[in-house]
């Protein structure tokens, strides 16, 4: 128990670097230990990510307690399903999140951001300004009516749900309150869609009439949870926009390189996702004995993938702490070496089906961010708090310069 409590204290102290520091102290690549009354095994790297996602001997449904993940994912979400139930629900998301949807959300986000940014002067909190714009773009696509005066409070609730994940502080309580408000809001819209638009084609209407494998309509609350699982991750891109702004501020040459096309918008999006601290780790429950890297992982163990450690693994990424968007020309991205939104297949596995939306939003904003004459205020971003404080204060010195059209290049 003392060791387990020490790990809790260590996580709070070291944040994203905790598992890497523990690996160094133990001189091992695989960590087996206890944390919060759980036997856990922590792995990292591309090969470990493939093992984590491709083994059939794990289950997501029993991995983490609802009390911990509920404020973030809600009750009964696709994230916590396994097998055919997961595949059936996941197909709905894959159908919704096609190329046209990706383009609509990214274009809407970039247009709104550029229009607002042109009016910014003086000190601005970019996360506080960006989150409502992203929510507005997301709601417009999903088919959720969002009154202008509600944008900020609804976006704040979305941010709070993410910010409270895994926290045992006031952040968790704030996340629970935000979840209750958001659930009530969207559940009412699901019920209205069922009454008034049973054959509608917006994502809200598609989810409202979705049935499970047995043809049974999802409970309205569960359908609302899945609608929120479209909206909330888009608002959460605000954290990564923070990373984009900080990267341009820290490496001034990037401004000209982005606007000239020397560095592509898509490369910037990928490197921000790789380097910026957001998702620290992912977990699944082992249901039969496994073996990895000469370590036995008994059934019942919580298998943890160190996401930060994988995205900063020096065995894959040269000089992993250096922000270098051109690195992908040398080391191509695979389904397992870059896992900020999960690994494996987005179609058949547990990788986030909205990953392309995140990439497209960041790529669409690369040019406008590079053109924004702003300086980041305050200290550099740390890696202790998980996730980082949802705030990025900048000093905008003038109106935005005209941005070159930086089309995402894959």
Task: Write the DSSP assignment of 4-70 as a string of letters.
Answer: HHHHHHHHHHHGGGHHHHHHHHHT-SSEEEEETTEEEEEE-SHHHHHHHHH-SSEESTTTS-HHHHH
- C-alpha pair distances (Å), 83 with each of 29, 57, 305, 323: 30, 11, 20, 38
Are 48 and 281 within 8 A, CB to CB? no
Supply φ then ψ for residue 37, to 5 degrees. Answer: 70, 15
CA dihedral 263, 383, 245, 97 (to 10 degrees): 70
pLDDT at 63: 84
pLDDT at 1: 40
175: Cα within 13 Å, side-chain hemisphere: 22
SS3 342: strand
Token reading at 361? 């939003």
Query: pLDDT truncated to tens, each residue of the chain (410 aa)?
Result: 445 545 778 888 899 999 999 999 999 999 999 987 889 999 999 999 999 999 999 999 888 777 778 899 999 999 999 999 999 999 999 999 999 999 999 999 999 999 999 999 999 999 999 999 999 999 999 999 999 999 999 999 999 999 998 777 899 999 999 999 999 999 999 999 999 988 899 999 999 999 999 999 999 999 999 999 999 999 999 999 999 999 999 999 999 999 999 999 999 999 999 999 999 999 999 999 999 999 999 999 999 999 999 999 999 999 999 999 999 999 999 999 999 999 999 998 999 999 999 999 999 999 999 999 999 999 998 999 999 999 999 999 975 443 434 343 33
Quote the DSSP letter at residue 380.
P
All structural domains of the chain with their residue ranges: 2-396
Token reading at 201? 């084609």
Pairing of strands 38-43, 58-59: unpaired
167: Cα within 13 Å, side-chain hemisphere: 22
CA end-to-end span of the chain: 49
pLDDT at 64: 79
SS3 332: coil
**Four-way CATH pick for 2-396: 3.90.45.10, 3.40.50.2000, 1.10.630.10, 3.40.50.300:** 1.10.630.10
Are 245 and 89 within 8 A, CB to CB? no
pLDDT at 315: 97
Token reading at 315? 């065995």
Q: Long-range contacts of range 327-334, CB-CB < 8 Å, 24 or more positions apart?
A: 327/271, 328/267, 328/270, 328/271, 329/267, 333/270, 334/46
pLDDT at 352: 96
Contacts of 180 (CB under 8 A, 6+ apart): none
pLDDT at 61: 84
pLDDT at 25: 93
Cα gap 346→289, rounded to integer Å = 26
Cα gap 171→236, rounded to integer Å = 16
């Amino acid at each position: 128990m003392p060791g387990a409590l020490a790990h809790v204290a260590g996580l709070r102290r070291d944040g994203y670097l905790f598992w890497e520091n523990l690996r160094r102290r133990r001189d091992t690549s695989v960590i087996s230990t206890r944390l919060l009354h759980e036997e856990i095994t922590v792995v990292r790297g591309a090969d470990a990510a493939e093992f984590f996602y491709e083994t059939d001997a794990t289950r997501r449904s029993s991995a983490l307690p609802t009390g911990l993940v509920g404020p973030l994912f809600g009750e009964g979400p696709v994230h916590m399903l396994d097998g055919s139930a997961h595949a059936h629900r996941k197909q709905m998301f894959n159908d919704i999140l096609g190329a046209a949807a990706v383009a609509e959300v990214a274009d809407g986000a970039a247009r709104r951001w550029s229009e607002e940014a042109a009016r910014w002067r003086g000190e601005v909190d970019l996360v506080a300004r960006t989150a409502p714009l992203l929510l507005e773009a997301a709601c417009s696509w999903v088919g959720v009516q969002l009154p202008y005066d509600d944008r900020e409070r609804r976006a704040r609730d979305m941010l709070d749900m993410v910010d409270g994940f895994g926290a045992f502080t006031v952040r968790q309580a704030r996340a629970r309150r935000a979840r209750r408000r958001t659930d009530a809001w969207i559940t009412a819209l699901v019920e209205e869609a069922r009454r008034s638009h049973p054959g509608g084609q917006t994502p809200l209407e598609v989810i409202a009439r979705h049935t499970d494998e047995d043809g049974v309509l999802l409970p309205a609350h569960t359908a609302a949870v899945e609608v929120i699982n479209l909206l909330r991750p888009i608002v959460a891109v605000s954290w990564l926009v923070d990373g984009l702004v900080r990267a341009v501020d820290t490496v001034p040459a990037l401004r000209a390189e982005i606007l000239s096309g020397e560095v592509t918008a898509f490369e910037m999006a990928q490197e921000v996702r790789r380097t910026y601290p957001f998702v620290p780790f992912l977990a699944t429950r082992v249901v039969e004995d496994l073996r990895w890297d000469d370590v036995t992982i008994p059934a019942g163990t919580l298998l943890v993938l160190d996401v930060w450690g994988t995205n900063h693994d020096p065995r894959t990424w040269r000089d992993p702490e250096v922000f270098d968007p051109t690195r992908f020309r040398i080391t191509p991205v695979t389904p397992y070496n870059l896992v900020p939104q999960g690994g494996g297949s987005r179609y058949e596995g547990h990788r986030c089906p909205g990953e392309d939306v995140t990439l497209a939003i960041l790529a669409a904003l690369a040019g406008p961010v590079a053109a924004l004459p702003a300086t980041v205020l305050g200290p550099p971003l740390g890696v202790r708090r998980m996730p980082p404080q949802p705030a990025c204060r900048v000093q905008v010195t003038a109106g935005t310069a005209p941005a070159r059209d930086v089309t995402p290049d894959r």
